[in-house]
Amino acid sequence: MSEPRTPTTRGTGGPEPSAALDRDLLAATPSTTSADGAPVPPGSGGAPSAQSDDTRQASLWSDAWRQLRRNKLFLIAVVLLGVLTVMAAFPGLFTSLGDPREGGCSLSNSKMPPSAQAWFGYDIQGCDHYTNVIYGARVSMIIGLVVVAGSGVIGLVLGALAGFYGGWFDILVARLTDIVYGLPIVLGAILILNAFPNRGLLQVAVALIALSWMTVLRLFRSSVISVKETDYVAAARAMGATNLRIILKHILPNALAPVLVYSTIAIGGIIAAEATLSFLGIGLQLPAVSWGLQINSGRNLLRTAPHVIFFPSIFLSVTVLSWILLGDALRDALDPKLR
Amino acid sequence: MARYIARRLLLAIPVLFGASFLIFAMVFALPGDPIRALAGERALPAAVQAQLNEEYNLNDPLLVQYGKYVAGLAQGDLGEDFRGRPVSDILEQTVPVTVKLSLVALAFEAVFGLIAGVLAGIRQKSFFDSLVLVTTTLVVSIPVFVLGFVAQYVLGLKLGIFPIAGVASGFSGYLLPGFVLAALSLAYVARLTRTALVENLRNDYVRTAKAKGLSPMSVVGKHTLRNSLIPVVTFLGADLGALLSGAVVTEGIFNIPGLGRAVFQAIQNQEGTVVVGIVTLFVFVYILFNLLVDVLYAALDPRIRYE
């Protein structure tokens, strides 16, 4: 294989990806190597090899699960994310007032501070701020999951092709990766979104996907390269396995752990990025309900009605924190080096 | 070493061209007519529109536009905004402000990040260590603009320690936005330093140094810290991207008349040339800074040179 001399995890775009969300990789990367040896080489012991493959594979995850169950931070994060997910799916369970966009607001309540009737006070339009904030969860959760899933698929497919086949395609992908790493995510997204006068979830998601697929690609590409010359892959090929089967059955399971850890943490970063863009006025637009927009609407009310900024900020930060805690817990559990 | 630097430089060229072309294509090839946006609510006469299109090369194919732009760039011409103000003028006024803000942020990062990281690292599992871990996790989770408002509200409005916005009061106006801008990276510097220090303290050479009877101060300061700083230095390269993006938000919140605020205003006015001029500058600075850091990395860690 003519492997270009570019290092797998470092490129011209810098030793580390630009966006904050990518930085945690620093700690996540070691598990790439640790997970590499997980599958059983064929012919170890007399046990049926197909079955031993399965049990060994399960042991990484069941070990991790055993450790996760004892981790308080993991449990806290799961509970918080559970509540937020329900909030995103069925906001009506938390508030009786219905979608804040469908009326129910009275200008006479504008900027009223929190009280027994309105726990979070009222916003500048006189809408119940508690309802606003509850309904804001949906956009954040959707953006986080969709963007990370989308960039994950792109990263896995391109990473598999580049790592497995190498050659000119690999070089092309590596250069493209370097170039996109050269664009800090918020700045790049500003440039892309600027071109759309009407921006909704789709546009914001596409812009963020376009700027965040590279890390999964590099993680997976280096996993593919480190595994493809191993004996068990040669054995699989000798038995007539197709390339697709080798990638899906033998390489993907081993590379999954670091990708999963990175993706979980990345969801938090993407949610923060969406809120930042909406706050700047270049992400979602009214009448969308987004924490970033709510914080933006309170920008000039810091003196008179700080609660307008305060509550969405808390929810936003807790959501991002929950994903990061979950990712941290997964990393601790999936990286045997830390045990 | 020279070969290593040459290779890194060569690798940087396609990245520079690629990134600037990508930006250019994003701004110009996607829908949205800048001339119409400039005119506002009333449409321009067709003749004026045609003349302006001609003047700003908007009728040329994308590649030709890009070629003309690069040719102008090579002659030091960054283009001008739609009011005829050269981009280089805008840069002249705003760059010093942003550089000052970034330096303040960098100083916060380096000083507080390193101190927190070292103190946490030498006393593993102590109260201070847990404190650093918890605080950094929290700071990482709080988006910059939220942190900016909290700082503005608590330290500026309620306690009145810092000016709330603007730089009219001189240097003190930079402290609060500088700290907000630094907070995220400060957390990462602290964590990186801690992790690297903890790892290095386990090494044999540390035991040897201790066995020789060196004071803990010189074991950490002279022997371990120097090795532990290598990942921190490389982090600072990637960090510049975060600083530049953060500047757009921070300068907006604190009303700092720097590049970040200029980018944001230009985007609002759909002034493609200004956006491209400044963001390309950001990207170039970012890539060159990373190049510098890579070279520095090789100088600090001889293993890198011979890969």
The distance of B135 to chain A (nearest Cα, Å) reads 12
Phi then psi dihedrals of residue B236, to 5 deg: -60, -30
The distance of A180 to chain B (nearest Cα, Å) reads 7
Q: Give CA–CA dist B300/A93, Å, rounded.
A: 58
Q: Which residue of A has its CA nearest to B280?
A: A183
Is B200 part of a structural domain of the chain? Answer: yes
* B125 lies in the same domain as B154: yes
| CATH class, A63-226+256-338 region | mainly alpha
Residues of A in contact with B143 (CB under 8 A): 272, 275-276, 316-317, 320
Partner residue facing B142 (CB), from A16, A303, A317: A317
Q: Residue by residue, what is the 3-state secondary structure of chain A?
A: CCCCCCCCCCECCECCCCCHHHCCHHHHCHHHHHHHCCCCCCCCCCCCHHHHHHHHHHHHHHHHHHHHHHCHHHHHHHHHHHHHHHHHHCHHHCCCCCCCCCCCCCHHHCCCCCCCCCCCCECCCCCEHHHHHHHHHHHHHHHHHHHHHHHHHHHHHHHHHHHHHCHHHHHHHHHHHHHHHCCCHHHHHHHHHHCCCCCCHHHHHHHHHHCCCHHHHHHHHHHHHHHHCCHHHHHHHHCCCCHHHHHHHHHHHHHHHHHHHHHHHHHHHHHHHHHHHHHHCCCCCCCCCCHHHHHHHCHHHCCCCCHHHHHHHHHHHHHHHHHHHHHHHHHHHHCHHHC
* B96 lies in the same domain as B70: no
pLDDT in tens, A4-25: 433 333 333 333 333 334 434 3
| Interface-testing mutation among A140, A173, A186, A187, with chain B (most B C-beta atoms within 10 A) | A187
| Interface-testing mutation among A3, A5, A16, A21, with chain B (most B C-beta atoms within 10 A) | A16
Helix (H, G, I), strand (E, B) or coil at B71: helix
* B273 lies in the same domain as B134: yes
pLDDT in tens, A260-284: 888 888 888 898 888 888 887 777 7
Q: What is the pLDDT of residue B206?
A: 83
Q: Give CA–CA dist B224/B228, Å, rounded.
A: 6
The last residue of a domain, from among B74, B100, B131? B74
Q: Which residue of B has its CA nearest to A183?
A: B283
DSSP for A78-103 reads HHHHHHHHHHHH-GGGT-SS--TTSS
Tokens of A142: 């959707």
* B23 lies in the same domain as B110: no
* B130 lies in the same domain as B278: yes
* B7 lies in the same domain as B33: yes
Q: Give CA–CA dist B167/B175, Å, rounded.
A: 10
Torsion angle in degrees (nearest 10) through CA of A159, A163, A169, A173:
40
Is B307 part of a structural domain of the chain? Answer: no
- Chain A from 281 to 320: CB within 8 A of any B CB: 281-282, 295, 299, 302-303, 306, 309, 313, 316-318, 320
The pLDDT of A138-159, averaged and rounded, is 90
Beta-bridge partner residues of B86: B80
* Rg of chain B (C-alpha set): 24
The last residue of a domain, from among B48, B74, B100? B74
* B26 lies in the same domain as B150: no
The last residue of a domain, from among B10, B42, B74? B74
Torsion angle in degrees (nearest 10) through CA of A157, A162, A163, A164:
80
Is the model's pLDDT at A104 over the cut of 70? no
* Best-predicted range by mean pLDDT (A61-70, A208-217, B135-144, B201-210): A208-217
The confidence band for B23, taking pLDDT boundaries of 50, 70 and 90, is confident
Q: What is the pLDDT of residue A36?
A: 40
Q: Quote the number of domains for chain B.
A: 2
Smallest CA-to-CA distance from B258 within B35, B104, B70 is with B104
Per DSSP, which regions of chain A are E strands?
none
Q: What is the pLDDT of residue B36?
A: 60
Q: What is the pLDDT of residue B79?
A: 65
Is the model's pLDDT at B155 over the cut of 80? no
* B230 lies in the same domain as B289: yes
pLDDT in tens, B273-304: 666 667 777 777 777 777 777 777 777 777 66
| Interface-testing mutation among B245, B284, B287, with chain A (most A C-beta atoms within 10 A) | B245
Ramachandran region, residue A167 (left: φ > 0; alpha: ψ -120 to 50; beta: rest): left
Query: Is the model more confident about A262 or about B268?
Result: A262
Whole-prediction pTM: 0.77
Is B306 part of a structural domain of the chain? Answer: no
Tokens of A292: 């970033």
Residue showing tokens 């510097």: B189
pLDDT in tens, B42-94: 666 777 777 777 766 666 677 777 777 777 776 666 666 666 677 777 778 88
Tokens of B62: 């994308």
Torsion angle in degrees (nearest 10) through CA of A49, A51, A52, A56:
140
Cβ of A194 and B27 within 8 Å?
yes
Cβ of B153 and A15 within 8 Å?
no
Is B111 part of a structural domain of the chain? Answer: yes
Count how many pairs of residues, chain A against chain B, have C-beta atoms within 8 Å: 176
* B10 lies in the same domain as B50: yes
CATH number at residue B137: 1.10.3720.10
* B41 lies in the same domain as B99: no
Q: How many residues does chain A have?
A: 339
ipTM: 0.75
Is the model's pLDDT at A58 over the cut of 50? yes
* B92 lies in the same domain as B9: no
Q: In this complex, is the C-beta atom of A89 within 8 Å of any C-beta atom belonging to chain B? A: no
Q: In this complex, is the C-beta atom of A172 within 8 Å of any C-beta atom belonging to chain B? A: no
Q: What is the pLDDT of residue B186?
A: 87
Residues of B in contact with A320 (CB under 8 A): 141-143
Is B165 part of a structural domain of the chain? Answer: yes
* B172 lies in the same domain as B294: yes
pLDDT in tens, A149-160: 999 999 988 888
Contact status, residue B177 vs residue B250, Cβ threshold 8 Å: yes
Residues of B in contact with A183 (CB under 8 A): 19, 22-23, 283
Tokens of B82: 């739609």
Smallest CA-to-CA distance from B20 within B292, B286, B279, B285 is with B279
Residues of B in contact with A275 (CB under 8 A): 143, 145
Partner residue facing B249 (CB), from A11, A191, A280: A280
Measured at the alpha carbon of residue A135, what is the angle toward residues A130 and A137, in degrees to the nearest 5?
110
Q: Give CA–CA dist A291/A287, Å, rounded.
A: 12
Q: Give CA–CA dist B21/B14, Å, rounded.
A: 10
Partner residue facing B140 (CB), from A184, A295, A324: A324
pLDDT in tens, A189-237: 877 777 777 788 888 898 899 888 888 888 888 888 888 788 888 888 8
Is B33 part of a structural domain of the chain? Answer: yes
Query: Is the model more confident about B155 or about B179?
Result: B179
Q: Which residue of B has its CA nearest to A317?
A: B142
Residue type, B108: F
Supply the range of the domain harboring residue B68.
Answer: 2-74
Q: Give CA–CA dist A86/A103, Å, rounded.
A: 23
| Interface-testing mutation among A3, A6, A18, with chain B (most B C-beta atoms within 10 A) | A18
Q: In this complex, is the C-beta atom of A329 within 8 Å of any C-beta atom belonging to chain B? A: no
Residues of B in contact with A313 (CB under 8 A): 146, 149-150
Q: What is the pLDDT of residue A9?
A: 36
Q: Give CA–CA dist A51/A285, Å, rounded.
A: 53
| Interface-testing mutation among B263, B290, B292, B305, with chain A (most A C-beta atoms within 10 A) | B290
- Maximum distance among all Cα pairs of chain B, rounded to whole angstroms: 85
Residue type, B294: D
Residue showing tokens 């006479």: A108
